[in-house]
Amino acid sequence: MTTKIIMDTDPGIDDAAAMTMAINSPELDVKLITAVAGNVTVDKTTANVLKIVHFFGKDKEIPVAEGAKAPLIKHFEDAARIHGESGMEGYDFGTDYGKPINKTAVEALHDAIMAEDSVVLVPTGSYTNIALLFKEYPEVKSHISKIVAMGGSISGGNMTSAAEFNVFTDPHAAEIMYKSGVPIVTVGLDVTLKALLTNDSLNKLKDMNETGKMLYGLISHYNDMSGGANGRPMHDVNTIFYLLHPEAFTTKKMWIDIQTDGPAIGCMVGDIRGAYHDGKTNAEVCVDIDADFFNKWFVDQVSKMK
């Protein structure tokens, strides 16, 4: 059986790789992809989603909708310094890649979710669209089996010492999502900085096929060097890897709170002892990962793509 998923994303190079894996996985049925401001502005993230969908010839199968232009409250701060001015530097996708559907992301999310008995939501950017959806259409929650979200960290950040980019970008949206009551799997820096795509794995992609060439071009222009000389972190790809291979992850259930102001804004605080919320939990946090398996899986998947 296939798992029906909806992606909400802000491509971004690792987002592009995540979409690539999801679109080409026979175990996943991508019903909709929505874009949000994050790594670059929302007009660019929307264009980048369209580029990936068109690259794989899925224009008629996977609708794309444009979403929020800015966080709910906080000032918008992009990551063009990491992903390049367009958000997806390193490969020429051309200019004929279509347009988004004539619905806002929130409208499209509502309609796509309500059309299914159960769907998995996969946000890999800031959670602004998700927060707006839950505020306007709370009835969708009963149709979402779980959220597998890239973002956050219980061990340190990449925007500040406390905050990871996706949560930092819109902490108020993250707070709404974590208080929604929908089951959440947190795929944060605790694992994504361990599952580095090694230089050896990256070099294998270059002459593998056109998909490999595309990914090699993008990843080679990816300025996230938080993995040091050992490789590049494919943060968002880990959400798809989790959906397909949860056995590769070690997780821990806990209550997550989000800091929404002050110098620690965007910090994800995990009640790791279960001491402050009467034993209740609202997330299953990924805390470890089989990095060797991740690399093997990534390369194997790309080798099968046409």
Point out the residues that are catalytic.
235
Alpha carbon distance 213, 11 (integer Å)? 18
CB 35 within 8 A of CB 68: no
**What strands, in cross-sheet order, belong to the sheet with 28-35?**
64-66, 28-35, 3-9, 119-123, 144-150, 184-187, 283-289, 249-254
Q: What angle do CA 168, 185, 116 make, to 5 degrees?
A: 110
Report angle CA 273, 276, 282 to the nearest 5 degrees: 80
